[in-house]
Amino acid sequence: MSAPIDLPKWADTILVPAVSVVAAFLVAGLVVVGIGENPLTATRLLLQGSLGTGEGLGFTLFYMTDFIFVGLAVAVAYHAGLFNIGGEGQATLAGLGIALVLNNLTFLPGIILIPLGILGAAAFGAAWAAIPGYLQAKRGSHIVITTIMFNWLASVLIVYLLVNVLRAPQNMNPETPAFPPQSEILFMHEVFAAFGIEIPASQLNLTLFLALAAAYGVWLLIYRSRLGYAIRVVGSSPTAAVYAGISPARIIVVAMVISGALAGGLAVNELMGYQHRLLLEFTAGYGFVGIAVALMGRAHPVGIVLASLLFGILYQGGAELAFEQPAITRDMVVVIGGIIILFAGALEGLFRRFVAHVMPRPALAKA
Amino acid sequence: MNSAIQLIAIDKRFGAVHANKDVNLDIARGTIHGIVGENGAGKSTLMSILYGFYEADSGEIRVGGRAVSIRSPADAIHVGIGMVHQHFMLVEPLSVVENVMLGAEGGPLLRKGEAKVKAELARLSRDYGLQIDVDATVGDLSVGLQQRVEILKALYRGADILILDEPTAVLTPAEADALFELLRALKTQGKTVILITHKLREIMAVTDRVSVMRRGEMVATLETTNTSPPELAELMVGRRVLLRVEKTERKPGAPLLEVSDLSVIDSRGVLRVANASFTIHAGEIVGIAGVSGNGQSELLEALAGMRQPVLGSIRFGGQEIALDRHNPHHMRQLGLLHVPEDRLRMGLVSAFPAFESAILGFSDEPRLGHGPILDHDRMVEDLTQKMEQYDVRPPAPRLKTSKFSGGNQQKIVLAREIERRPKVLLVGQPTRGVDIGAIEFIHRRLIALRDAGVGILLVSVELDEIMALSDRILTMCGGQITGERKASETTEQDLGLLMAGVTDEAA
Ligand SMILES: Nc1ncnc2c1ncn2[C@@H]1O[C@H](COP(=O)(O)OP(=O)(O)OP(=O)(O)O)[C@@H](O)[C@H]1O
Ligand SMILES: [Mg+2]
């Protein structure tokens, strides 16, 4: 066993992640040098591509929206002591929920249809997460295994439905007909244009605000509500939960339901905000990024928003980088992301030790 | 004097808490040195500094006269200091040998190392008269034997100086005696032992010298033969302490909790309580005496609604508790509150700030919030008040629960349950790990509660405590209630026989 390391809260929540990100970039830089490119140029291109232009920024924030939802989903389950790996599957099912609601209720006005679509996403995502939750609670089937299995089930289910059931007859692609136009969540550039402000067009849409609201809601739920209290008791000490009369089985299901509903936000952003139809593989592995985001954000909504921004920068900037410098492929960018996950998640303890070591004593004493 | 360890001007702060103030301590080689002090006096902190868990802000450590820098447990082991933790650091599915080898395997292939460890363990067992089956699985061993494995681990790593922090808190009296036997054997072999305990009779029985800490300071070091429990108590607390609280005879009132033919099985399906029947009246304290592990824990858990009985019935205030309402939530609503035996696993959530631990079991109370949202200011304010009332140190409601010393954690649990004015209170080991000043306080509270008409069921492995507090005493052995006595009409010997299963009929 090692000695406990006590750091002031600010160091714990900001300094340690910052140090690990810097270290990750240094290592990633070495990798870039290894393939014969200039890491400084690469960094410049990455930042330029993600933050330097209005369009780039729009895309960065669009990805950020995705990551906030899936990060929050992982975090809520995590507070109940559960590792929800099933964000992909839950978001996929949420997409199905959206398609069913929007394409069957085409007669409704947007002001009603949009909330219904969002609810459909939440309900389908929640239901898909509830099953592994129930199996864990009642049968002890490990949630990591079952959620992974449910990712596969979701992906074959959606292929079957899109090819055989939901596809528009004349369409060769496995996708649904377009959603009714009144159900489209407005693009940010459209909103700004309505106020007479011109901003570059991108995929960024109003779902960003829903994501930020969800982050606030999760904070309120986890840290301030009675239910969140019960969730954290179950997550930190199941025996104390039994003593307190909190049923771990019930909380596990409830936490998974909330988690699945949050994962549904990914589908809202991608489908209602951008694609405007249901198509294959719109989740693009973002559900897994949620795990990294939650780890890096220490399962706290503020941390998750910041980590989502970082991963948004990586995704958007990485795409630009791969475009500008062909030697650095998309795969390389994935590697850099992986290094960050490794450093921020797995090696976090190492950096805590480092920070504790170099911090001046008086600062520690004020902890 | 031949010093094993010298601590010179050790100082340590945790934020506003000055845990060790300019502490000096000299421990002679080949002695058993006791350390006593109130909860939060800084004993564990001082030992953690010695063992490299914490680094002192200033001061010097000398081992065998040589100044050393101990920055990690590895450094401590290197200079011959070993520590037995109160919460064992053992891998339960592994055997004794494997546990001892852990971290000292001696190469990638286990075979050679294992033979060496076995030979070494055989030697240690011989030298110290430690009997233990080295191939047994650690998880199957009793708590007392697991502690032995911890000691063996330290000795195997070459410890000359052994630190034991409240080693007897989890032991039965017989196991504690065996431990002291072992400590004496270690002493004769020239090892040095540092023993922290709250039980003054243990200090008197086994130590050569004893040091007293108060509020972070080392206030005295005495030859054990020249001191007495009352003197030590006074040094610790800074005032005279009643080692036994006064209590008047009182007539019990109406029956509150009626238990008949209750049988309970544990999670492995073993029968732990068999046909227990008894009644607790308003305004009485009923003590359950018994060697730990004889069904008391399961009995408490069943009464609290945490465990479904397999047979029998429980009536509360004349009403039978239906099976589907037999849960902790419902029992609490009825007014049956519970101070659990194991505060760390059940009574508190160590990762929470104290004010959140202080509502465990009561998070649904309407007054603690507005609708679904909890009111943190209110919770903090509540706990601030209770901390003052119960003299919890430091009085910091927002501090993480795990950062309070053991006795102060216990006070937080007691305050939570007692101040909610129960009708019946189940109390398990209320003073485990609690200092004598606080014991006096807790005993007074429990008696005041009884005088206010609360029915109390007290489970404790401390016979003294049972005898001091109870009006009636039930003894338990092997899951059965083997006898009942009025506290005023029994003796330790009498209870001892009943606890050993010698029932009235058999006698
Ligand atoms: N990691 C920590 N952070 C903040 N305060 C701490 C920490 N560890 C201990 N303290 C505080 O330091 C003081 C001394 O604690 P310590 O555990 O040494 O007491 P103790 O004498 O061992 O008490 P007990 O008999 O109850 O075990 C207490 O006030 C405690 O709350
Ligand atoms: Mg202690």
Kindly state whether residues A279 and A341 are assigned to the same domain.
no
Give the per-residue pLDDT at A210: 98
Please write the tens of the pLDDT for every residue from B114-165: 888 888 888 888 888 777 888 888 888 877 888 888 888 888 888 999 999 9
What is the mean predicted confidence (pLDDT) over A130-143?
95
Taking residues B494-506, what's their average pLDDT? 77
Residue A259 maps to a domain? yes
Q: Could you give phi then psi for residue A346, rounded to 5 degrees?
A: -70, -35
Number of domains into which chain A is organized: 2
Least Cα distance to B499 among B468, B471, B469, B467 occurs for B467
Put the strands of the sheet holding B66-68 in their side by side order. B17-28, B3-14, B58-63, B66-68
Sign of the alpha-carbon torsion through A213, A219, A222, A225: negative
- Is the pLDDT confidence value at A1 over 60? no
Confidence of residue A363 (pLDDT cuts 50, 70, 90): very low
| % helix, strand, coil for chain B, step of 5 | 35, 25, 35
State in Å: Cα B18 to ligand 2 middle: 15
Q: How far apart are CA A66 and CA A283, in angstroms?
A: 9
Which chain A residue's Cα is nearest to B379? A224
Which candidate from B15, B89, B345 shows the least CB-CB separation from A366?
B15
A258 in a structural domain: yes
By CA distance, what is A239's nearest residue in B? Answer: B346
Higher pLDDT, A324 or B106: A324
Is the minimum CB–CB distance between A38 and chain B shorter than 8 Å?
no
Cα dist. B1→A285, B242, B243, B362 in Å? 70, 36, 35, 56
B273-to-B264, B398, B474, B502 alpha-carbon distances in Å: 5, 40, 14, 17
Q: How far is the CA of B403 from the centre of ligand 1 (A)?
A: 6
Interval B254-261 mean pLDDT: 95
- Identify whether the C-beta of residue B286 lies closer than 8 Å to the C-beta of residue B256: no
Asked whether residue A196 is assigned to any structural domain, the reply reads no
Whether residues A312 and A345 fall in one domain: no
Query: Would you state the pLDDT for residue B31?
Result: 96
Does residue A2 have a pLDDT over 60? no
pLDDT computed for residue B258 by the predictor: 96
Same domain for A79 and A8, yes or no, is no
Nearest in space to B275 (alpha carbons), one of B322, B315, B319, B309? B309
**In angstroms, rounded to a whole number, what is the distance separating the alpha carbons of residues A181 and B53?**
64
CB pairs under 8 A between A and B: 85
How far does the centroid of ligand 2 lie from the alpha carbon of residue B19, in Å? 11
| Residue of B13, B163, B403 to mutate, ligand 1, most atoms within 8 A of C-beta | B403
Residues 6+ apart with CB under 8 A from A66: A266, A269, A270, A286, A289, A308
Structure tokens at B326: 């037999």
Give yes or no for a contact between A310 and A21, defined as CB atoms under 8 angstroms apart: yes
Mutate to test the interface with A, among B12, B13, B85 (most CBs of A within 10 A): B13
Q: Which of B36, B48, B320, B45 is nearest to B203 (CA)?
A: B36
Within a domain: A45:
no
Query: Can you tell me the distance from the alpha carbon of A315 to that of A313, in angstroms, rounded to the nearest whole number?
Result: 6
C-alpha B307/C-alpha A320 separation (Å) is 60
Residue A195 lies in a domain: no
* For chain A, percent of residues with pLDDT exceeding 70: 95
pLDDT at position B275 is 93
- Verify whether the Cβ–Cβ distance A243 to B360 is below 8 Å: yes
**Does the CB of B14 have a partner CB in chain A at under 8 Å?**
yes
Among protein residues, the one with the nearest Cα to ligand 1's atom 29 is: B40
Give the integer Cα–Cα distance in Å for B231 and B240: 8
Q: Supply A133's token pair.
A: 């939750």
Contact A328, A321 (CB under 8 A): yes
Q: Is the distance from CB of A43 to CB of A310 less than 8 angstroms?
A: no
- Specify the length of chain B in residues: 507
pTM for the full model?
A: 0.88
Task: Give CA–CA dist A328/A326, Å, rounded.
Answer: 5
Q: Which ligand is nearest to the CA of A5?
A: 1
Name the token pair of B472. Answer: 């009636």
Domain assignment present for A7: yes
Residues A218 and A344 in one domain: no
Q: Supply the pLDDT for residue B505.
A: 59
User: CB atoms < 10 A from the CB of A197, how many?
Assistant: 9
CB of A10 less than 8 A from some CB of B? no
What is the B406 CA–ligand 2 centroid distance (Å)? 6
d(CA B309, CA B389): 37
Which of A1, A229, A240 lies at the smallest CB-CB distance from B346? A240
Q: Do A224 and B376 touch (CB under 8 A)?
A: yes
pLDDT of residue A367: 35
User: Do A150 and A282 share a structural domain?
Assistant: yes
**Nearest CA to A182 among A267, A117, A264, A279?**
A117
Average predicted confidence (pLDDT) for chain B: 90
**B200-224 CB burial, b ≥16 within 10 A, e <16:** bebbbebbbbbbbbbebbbebbbeb
Residue A298: CB atoms within 10 A of its CB come to 19
Shared-domain flag, residues A223 and A319: yes
Are B429 and B461 a contacting pair, CB within 8 Å? yes
C-beta B216 within 6 A of ligand 1: no
- Which among A104, A142, A107 has a CA at the least distance from the CA of A120? A104
Instruction: Show the tokens assigned to A174.
Output: 């496995």
Q: Which pLDDT does position A323 carry in this prediction?
A: 86
| Cβ–Cβ below 8 Å for A237 and B345 | yes
Give B 48-87 residues with CB within 8 A of chain A: 52-54, 57, 72-73
- SS3 of residue A34 by DSSP: helix
Ligand 1 mutation pick, B23, B44, B199, B202, max ligand atoms within 8 A of CB? B44
Residue A80 backbone phi and psi in degrees, to 5: -90, 10
Residues A142 and A259 in one domain: yes
DSSP B462-501: -HHHHHHH-SEEEEEETTEEEEEEEGGG--HHHHHHHHTT
Phi then psi for residue B36, to 5 deg, are: -125, 165
Look at residue A62 and tell me if it is in a domain: yes
Residues A318 and A331 in one domain: no
CA B426 – ligand 1 centroid, Å: 28
In this structure, the residue with its CA closest to atom 2 of ligand 1 is: B403
Q: What is d(CA A62, CA A211) in angstroms, rounded to the nearest whole number?
A: 11
Nearest to B260 by CA among B306, B302, B307, B297: B302
Q: Which residues of A touch B306 (CB under 8 A)?
A: 242-243
3-state secondary structure of A359: coil
In this prediction, residues A37-61 reach a mean pLDDT of 91
- Say yes or no: A8 and A153 in one domain: no
Same structural domain, A228 and A341 = no
CATH number at residue A107: 1.10.3470
**Alpha carbons A150 and A147: distance in angstroms, whole number:** 5
| Beta-carbon contacts of residue A163 (< 8 Å; ≥ 6 apart) | A174
Query: What's the pLDDT band for A366 if we cut at 50, 70, 90?
Result: very low
Of the ranges A98-102, A281-285, B80-84, which is most confident?
A98-102
Residue B506 has pLDDT above 70, yes or no: no
Top residue of B346, B350, B380, B403 to mutate, by most chain A CBs within 10 Å, is: B346
Backbone φ and ψ of B481, nearest 5°: -85, 115
Nearest CA to ligand 1 atom 4: B14
Measured between alpha carbons, how far is A252 from A137 in angstroms, rounded to an integer? Answer: 6
Q: What length is written for chain A?
A: 367
- Pick the residue with more confidence: A249 or A170? A249
Q: Is B501 left (phi over 0), alpha (psi -120 to 50) or beta?
A: left
Cβ partners under 8 Å of residue A160, min gap 6: none
Chain A residues with beta carbon closer than 8 angstroms to that of B54: 3
Answer yes or no: do A1 and B89 touch at CB < 8 A.
Answer: yes
Pair (A90, A177) in one structural domain = yes
Q: How large is the average pLDDT for residues A212-223? A: 98
Residue B91 contacts A where some CB pair is shorter than 8 Å: no
Residues A29 and A128 in one domain: no
Average pLDDT, chain A: 90
pLDDT tens-digit readout, B426-443: 999 999 888 888 899 999
Residue A360: which pLDDT band, with cuts at 50, 70 and 90? low
Query: Is pLDDT of A4 > 60?
Result: no
Distance A120 CA to ligand 2 centre (A): 54
Print the domain residue range for A164: 58-186+204-323
Q: Give the per-residue pLDDT at A359.
A: 66
Structure confidence by residue, pLDDT tens digits, A330-358: 777 778 778 877 887 667 777 777 777 77
CB contact under 8 A, B332 and A224: no
Residue A165 lies in a domain: yes
- Per-residue pLDDT, averaged over A262-286, amounts to 96
Angle (nearest 5°) at CA A172 between A167 and A176: 25
- Give all domains of chain B, ordered by start, each with its CATH number: 3-237 (3.40.50.300), 249-335+423-507 (3.40.50.300), 344-421 (no CATH)
Q: Is the pLDDT of residue A361 over 60?
A: no
pLDDT of residue B398: 96
Q: Is the CB of B42 under 6 A from ligand 1?
A: yes
Radius of gyration of chain B (CA): 24
Question: CA angle A141-A144-A145, nearest 5°?
Answer: 60
pLDDT tens-digit readout, B6-61: 999 999 999 888 999 999 999 999 999 999 999 889 999 999 999 999 999 999 99
pLDDT above 50: residue A365: no
